[in-house]
């Protein structure tokens, strides 16, 4: 009798699966048709506006509108950002006409493109992605290849999958920092409790020294980019989901929300910024895109991170590259402590030598004088 009931339940479950599949499949053609209609309208708009970018089917454009918006989350302010003091960023006319940190001085200083999934955690990916490159640039070591944890920033800060401010994220990186990916792996959008981080997380934290808001000015942003990569936010419209290449500018569609990315360069000829997104390498130009200067509010909320390491104090171990080669700040601090002890012993020895030399000289003089009297 129990077996009969089990078979009946199994049949009911299978029936549910069949009907669910039928409903999903029946909705798919309508969704594809809507996406196809959008794409046709978009391509017409691109052609009429003579925009310099291409559109096509992407992993994000295939999603229903409500699912697409889950990939946003950067909160763009509607007020101009605070200006820097004149001495903070000094613009110059000697800037190169092209800059791309993926190929700068013969090296790639940008960490790989990641996938934030259906969670509005772009603010965490933008800030962490910038921090990874900032540390490598500060260390003058493109092979550092840091992989820091966006999940730690998402779970342990006040930010959520509904988004957060870049300035608040920067404050978190300054006061708390970010651990390595192995300490708190990304869960694909599920906001894990902060307590799920590794037990020794405090020894694996990387912090910024301070952050600055870059003025919304092309020359100022270019000057800042020549120092390091930046984090920025902008407004996203429907057409951006369909981007496949070229210099993006908004030509069609409704406002969808704010989004945060990593600025990694610029192109004077195309008058565009070069940016790293967090929608996987299947979107855009293998995860990257170009956007026209000033379009969609890009440049309004742009931040520069400053990283300070124990190596910045001229430590002997760091000068030899040992501090930067370590996988955690704790090890770098350990090296610094050992080196400071060595330098302390050396200082004591030098001090003793300077005290003894005059005494030795006096002793030799008296000996010679005594010998002459004899």
Greatest mean pLDDT among 29-33, 53-57, 319-323 lies in 53-57
The lowest-confidence range among 116-125, 138-147, 158-167, 326-335 is: 326-335
266/223 Cα distance (integer angstroms): 11
Q: How far is CA 209 from CA 137, 154, 337, in A?
A: 14, 20, 20
> Can you give the pLDDT at residue 133?
98
What integer pLDDT is reported at residue 25 of this predicted model? 47
Q: Which of 104, 156, 277, 311 is catalytic?
A: 277
Distance CA 316, CA 307 (A): 19
Give the residue with greater pLDDT, 152 vs 337: 152
Tokens of 343: 């330098």
Indicate if the pLDDT at residue 320 is higher than 80: no
Q: Give yes or no for residue 342 having a pLDDT over 70.
A: no
Q: Is 209 known to be catalytic?
A: no
Residue 7 confidence class, pLDDT cut points 50, 70, 90: very low
Q: pLDDT at position 192, please? A: 87
Mean pLDDT of 292-308: 95
- How far is the C-alpha of 83 from the C-alpha of 81, rounded, in Å? 6
Average pLDDT for 36-43 = 94
Q: Mind listing the pLDDT tens digit for each residue in 211-257?
A: 999 999 999 999 999 999 999 999 999 999 999 999 999 999 999 99
pLDDT of residue 343 exceeding 70, the answer is no
The model's confidence at residue 188, banded by pLDDT at 50, 70 and 90, is confident
Burial 150-189 (b: 16+ CB within 10 A, else e): bbbbbbbbebebebbbbbebbebbeebbbbbbebbebeeb
Judged against a pLDDT cut of 70, whether residue 303 lies above it is answered with: yes
Nearest to 248 by CA among 274, 268, 226: 274
**Bridge partners, 350 (sequence order):** none
Mean pLDDT of the chain: 81
What is the mean predicted confidence (pLDDT) over 206-214? 96
For residue 177, CA distances in Å to 114, 173, 174, 261 come to 19, 4, 6, 19
Which pLDDT belongs to residue 15?
52
**DSSP string for 249-304:** ---SS-EEEEEEEEEEEEETTTTEEEEE-SB-TTSTBTTEEEEETTGGGTTSEEEE
- Rounded Cα distance, 197 and 181, in Å: 10
Q: What average pLDDT score do residues 326-355 get? A: 46
More confident residue, 265 or 11: 265
What integer pLDDT is reported at residue 20 of this predicted model?
Answer: 47
Pick the catalytic residue from 104, 119, 122, 295.
Answer: 122
Residue 233 is encoded by which pair of tokens?
A: 């936010």
- Domain ranges in the chain? 1-50, 53-308, 312-373
Distance, in Å, from the CA atom of 48 to the CA atom of 319, rounded to the nearest integer, reads 57
Residue with the larger pLDDT of the pair 296 and 374:
296
Pairing of strands 255-267, 272-276: antiparallel
Place of tokens 């006319």: 93
- Each residue of 194-205: pLDDT tens digit? 999 999 999 999
Residue 117's CB: how many other CB atoms inside 10 A?
Answer: 17
Residue in 161, 183, 259, 296 annotated catalytic: 259
Average pLDDT over residues 338-364: 49
CATH architecture of the domain covering 53-308 = Alpha-Beta Complex (3.90)
Structure tokens at 64: 């229903």
196 is catalytic: no
Verify whether residue 259 is a known catalytic residue: yes
Considering only residues 164 and 362, tell me which one the structure prediction assigns the higher pLDDT.
Answer: 164
pLDDT tens digits for range 97-146: 999 999 999 999 999 999 999 999 999 999 999 999 999 999 999 999 89
Do the strands 210-213 and 178-179 form a parallel or antiparallel pair, or are they unpaired? unpaired
**Measured CA distances, 69 to 121, 235, 255 (Å):** 11, 12, 10
Of the chain, the percentage scoring pLDDT greater than 70 comes to 68
DSSP strand pairing (243-248 vs 288-292): parallel
Q: What is the pLDDT of residues 67-111, one digit of tens each?
A: 999 999 877 754 444 444 433 555 556 899 999 999 999 999 999
């Amino acid at each position: 009798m129990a077996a009969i009931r089990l078979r009946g339940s199994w049949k009911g479950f299978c029936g549910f699966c069949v009907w669910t599949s039928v409903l999903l499949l029946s909705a798919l053609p309508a969704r594809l048709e809507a996406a196809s209609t959008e794409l046709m309208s978009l391509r017409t708009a691109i052609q009429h506006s003579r925009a310099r970018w291409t559109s096509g089917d992407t992993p994000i454009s295939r999603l229903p509108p409500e699912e697409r918006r889950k990939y946003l989350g950067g909160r763009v302010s509607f007020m101009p950002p605070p200006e820097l003091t004149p001495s903070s960023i000094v613009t110059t006319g000697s800037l190169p006409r092209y800059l791309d940190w993926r190929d700068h001085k013969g090296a790639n200083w940008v960490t790989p493109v990641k996938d934030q999934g259906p969670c509005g955690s772009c603010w965490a990916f933008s800030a962490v992605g910038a921090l990874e490159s900032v540390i490598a640039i500060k260390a003058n070591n493109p092979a550092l290849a840091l992989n820091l944890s966006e999940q730690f920033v998402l779970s342990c800060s006040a930010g959520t999958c509904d988004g957060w401010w870049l300035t608040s994220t920067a404050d978190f990186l300054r006061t708390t920092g970010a651990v390595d990916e192995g300490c708190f792996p990304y869960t694909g959008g599920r906001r894990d409790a902060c307590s799920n981080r590794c037990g020794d997380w405090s020894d694996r934290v990387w912090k910024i020294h301070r952050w600055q808001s870059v003025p919304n000015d092309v020359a100022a942003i270019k000057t800042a980019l020549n120092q390091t990569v930046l984090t920025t936010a902008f407004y996203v419209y429907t057409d951006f989901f369909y981007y496949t290449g070229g210099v993006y500018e908004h030509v069609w569609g409704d406002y969808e929300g704010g989004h945060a990315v990593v600025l990694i360069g610029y192109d004077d000829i195309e008058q565009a910024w070069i940016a790293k997104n967090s929608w996987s390498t299947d979107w855009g130009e293998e995860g990257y895109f170009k956007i026209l200067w000033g379009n969609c509010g890009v440049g309004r909320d742009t931040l520069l991170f400053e990283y300070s390491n124990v190596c910045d104090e001229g430590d002997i171990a760091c000068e030899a590259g040992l501090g930067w080669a370590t996988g955690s700040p704790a090890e770098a601090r350990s090296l610094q402590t050992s080196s400071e002890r060595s330098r302390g012993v050396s200082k004591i020895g030098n001090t003793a030598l300077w005290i003894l030399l005059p005494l030795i000289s006096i002793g030799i003089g008296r000996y010679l004088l005594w010998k002459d009297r004899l």
